[in-house]
Structure 1
Amino acid sequence: MKWLTDDEKAPHKQRHTAKRVYDRLREIYKDEFDASERSVRSFVAKLKKELKIDTDGSLPLDHPPGEAQVDFGEARFIENGVTYDGHYLNISYPHSNGGHTQLFKSENQECLLEGLKAIFEHIGGVPTVIWFDNMSTAVKKIKDYGERDLTKGFLRFMMHYGFKSNFCNPNSGNEKGSVENKVGYHRRNLFVPIPEFKDLREYNKELLHRCDKDMKRKHYKGLGLISELFEEDKKEFFKLPEVPFEVYLHEFTKADNYGKVKFDTRTYSSSPNAAGNQVMIKAGAYDVEILDSDCNLIVRHKRLYGEERESMIWIPYLELMAKRPTALKYTGLFNQLPLTLKQFLENSDYECKKQTLKIFARMTADTNMAAAVAAIEEGIRCGARDADSMWATYCRINSGSLPVMDMSLPDTVPELNNFTPDINIYDELIVCGGL
């Protein structure tokens, strides 16, 4: 009952079905749970009737082996404690009734292509024909007689992997009924309850394997296991190209006086050296890279979505701060530092603060900010009070212990007898000293 009442707080399409309730009960109670799926369905239907919860169904369609259908669905998820109303890309294989999905924070072109690429690489092939609706990330314009102008990014992707794209007539979702059904199936069985995880990219890898495992069930028409039928699909797939497609959107822009740039209505930091200069933005589904005029990487950000409006990476600014150490306390970086490091910098004189920031920048460039902070905290704990001691501590932590080499002695070296010292003589010395 609690699961169903909690569903009132979740999106309408991201709530428990009877099958999902049955599966969760089996996962939680394992051998202790012996009720049949039919009993659970009957009980859940009764509860939903009491709670006045309605459900809908959909109708699948048949296609030859090797074809696929694609569509997005909406699902809420939580990454690192932040809630997103995201989107999940679904690909279904109507012949086998198999499918895969990938979760994203948007349904922009980078997410569409990144999701398809990840699925192609996971299944080891490319469907021969893929059906889409008229999503703006793929279709720029619908012309007379069913002709379509495709977006440049989608067209390049399609030509790279060699598949043929078909598009449904406007307002005719039934033409890709297989994936319409799969959108609901994935939501009910993979995104209920609302998923929570640390890293979206890693979670998407897990989703692909969960989809593989889900295929080890009977086809709804009784034709055998879905996984066996999917092998027939795979025999018809095209081979993957030797070189993977690089899914990125490139855009040139000018950094402001602080080295910050605008992209997709959001702000990203670059470097003080880029202030007032043109930079190139290389945006993927997960990351945004800022490159200089020679295409050298300045900094890499996690791409912002939802309510996120600004991403500030302070590493490129550390050297500038070392030249102006008194300004550190008034920057966002200072609030991100551990308390011990804040106290050390506040209690340091101008020169020590300046040198510590230089060393901190050097450590961060050599490894990362977390390793630099850990080294300075260890140095403070050991009583270090200057930048050189901090650097020595960092080197000790990150270089590790040197291997002990075996030494071969020549035959000319005589064998030494073991010698055990007698420490009783020291007792006699103590007595003679009058102690």
Structure 2
Amino acid sequence: MHKIEDIRRLGRVGVSVASIARNTGVSEPTVRKYLREGDLSERPPEVGRSPRSPILEPYADAIDSWLAEDRRCWRKQRHTARRVYDRLVEEMGFEGLYSTVQRYVKRRCRELAAGRDAREAQGFLLLDWLPGECQVDFGQADFRVRGVVQRGHFLVVEFPHSNVGLVQVFWGETAECVCQGLKNVFEFLGGVPLRAVFDNAIEIGRRVGAAIVTSELFRRFAAHYGLDYSFTNPYSDNEKGDVENKVGAIRRNLFVPVIPSTYFSPSAQTNRRRSR
């Protein structure tokens, strides 16, 4: 509480958020959170809900082990309550409600994360997308290769109008990977999108001021397929919020827990390209 008091005291006298963060040793999002907080009273305990449900009790150790193992994994590739519930049903025959699992996972994650600053949720602008337009971006996930965990890359092609996302795994984010991935997508769809919007940091090219600089390989690729394309502005994730969300959803639902890279044989890739 002493840090909260310092934050609010400095805020009352007009000290900037950045200065408060430096002086108190906490993050700027945390400073903003406590400056906005209207009620610092302790929350009363929930009435009528026990910490553990009798039906969930036999599975608690398994859930705890999954969440504990997550702490050694990349933060973007950890179990959500939905993923925990799905695994309980599929692997252990759990017959309880999702809400029961959700409450337990939420409480355990809060206990495991005690003392760490909570990240503020980021909003995205809602943009209108026509049928046939797509967003393209890369995500990262860990895979087990011959017993060793290595970080791989997966290319996501998202169609915001229909909310369909296609994914392929590569070991890099080069222009060759992008072109090969798009070629496979075009063949899978049986056509070429009307327009593709790429992240500005992707390897095929980028926007420099008003000019767009692209690689020779991608220019030839786009000319061959007649692909119309554009790049987002630097540091403007809101311009491709759909594919950003799809990258996270694919990572959580397809790549948790960490799976062997041998799972992605050519036939397996075809079957798993369409994300739910």
Q: Same fold (TM over 0.5)?
A: yes
Are the counterparts in 1 of residues 81 and 102 from structure 2 also a CA contact under 8 Å? yes
Q: Which has the higher contact order (CA 8 A, sep 6+)?
A: 2
Alignment match, 1:99:
165
TM-superposed CA distance for 1:130, in Å, is 0.8
Are the counterparts in 2 of residues 68 and 130 from structure 1 also a CA contact under 8 Å? yes
Please say if 1:181 is aligned against 2:245. yes
TM-superposed CA distance for 1:5, in Å, is 0.6
Q: 1:195 to 1:66 in 2, by over 3 A?
A: same
Please say if 1:121 is aligned against 2:187. yes
Residue from 88, 99, 123 that aligns with 2:154 = 88
Counterpart secondary structure, 2:234: coil
Structure 1 residues 306-317: aligned runs within 5 Å: none
Please say if 1:109 is aligned against 2:171. no
Please say if 1:133 is aligned against 2:236. no
Partners of 1:97 and 1:39 lie apart in 2 by 29
State the AA in 2 paired with 1:192: V
State the AA in 2 paired with 1:81: G
TM-superposed CA distance for 1:34, in Å, is 1.9
Partners of 2:90 and 2:122 lie apart in 1 by 25
Alignment match, 2:24:
none
TM-superposed CA distance for 1:35, in Å, is 2.0
Partners of 1:18 and 1:207 lie apart in 2 by 26
Alignment match, 1:157:
221
Higher Rg of the two aligned structures: 1
Residue from 182, 186, 191 that aligns with 2:255 = 191
Counterpart secondary structure, 1:100: strand
Alignment match, 1:48:
109
Partners of 1:5 and 1:57 lie apart in 2 by 26
- CA deviation vs aligned residue, 1:356-410 (integer Å, no higher than 9, x gap): xxxxxxxxxxxxxxxxxxxxxxxxxxxxxxxxxxxxxxxxxxxxxxxxxxxxxxx
Structure 1 residues 1-400: aligned runs within 5 Å: 1-29=64-92, 32-52=93-113, 59=124, 61-139=127-205, 142-144=207-209, 146-198=210-262, 200=264, 202=265, 205-212=267-274, 214-215=275-276
Are the counterparts in 2 of residues 69 and 91 from structure 1 also a CA contact under 8 Å? yes
TM-superposed CA distance for 1:205, in Å, is 4.2
TM-superposed CA distance for 1:133, in Å, is 1.3
- CA deviation vs aligned residue, 1:313-367 (integer Å, no higher than 9, x gap): xxxxxxxxxxxxxxxxxxxxxxxxxxxxxxxxxxxxxxxxxxxxxxxxxxxxxxx
Partners of 2:76 and 2:137 lie apart in 1 by 15
Counterpart secondary structure, 2:69: helix
Partners of 2:85 and 2:140 lie apart in 1 by 23
Partners of 1:156 and 1:187 lie apart in 2 by 31
Partners of 2:68 and 2:140 lie apart in 1 by 21
Are the counterparts in 2 of residues 70 and 89 from structure 1 also a CA contact under 8 Å? yes
Counterpart secondary structure, 2:224: helix
Partners of 2:260 and 2:107 lie apart in 1 by 30
Partners of 1:40 and 1:102 lie apart in 2 by 31
Alignment match, 1:339:
none
Are the counterparts in 2 of residues 113 and 157 from structure 1 also a CA contact under 8 Å? yes
Q: Percent identity?
A: 42
Partners of 2:172 and 2:77 lie apart in 1 by 17
State the AA in 2 paired with 1:110: E
Partners of 1:208 and 1:39 lie apart in 2 by 35
State the AA in 2 paired with 1:4: L
Q: 1:27 to 1:46 in 2, by over 3 A?
A: same
Are the counterparts in 2 of residues 139 and 148 from structure 1 also a CA contact under 8 Å? yes
Are the counterparts in 2 of residues 62 and 178 from structure 1 also a CA contact under 8 Å? no
Q: 1:105 to 1:40 in 2, by over 3 A?
A: same
Partners of 2:122 and 2:99 lie apart in 1 by 18
TM-superposed CA distance for 1:124, in Å, is 2.1
Counterpart secondary structure, 2:75: coil
Q: 1:58 to 1:101 in 2, by over 3 A?
A: farther
Are the counterparts in 2 of residues 137 and 154 from structure 1 also a CA contact under 8 Å? no
Partners of 1:70 and 1:15 lie apart in 2 by 23
Are the counterparts in 2 of residues 67 and 128 from structure 1 also a CA contact under 8 Å? yes
Counterpart secondary structure, 1:50: helix
TM-superposed CA distance for 1:208, in Å, is 4.0
Partners of 1:208 and 1:23 lie apart in 2 by 23
> Alignment RMSD, CA only?
2.2
Alignment match, 1:281:
none
TM-superposed CA distance for 1:126, in Å, is 1.9
Alignment match, 1:248:
none
Partners of 1:41 and 1:94 lie apart in 2 by 28
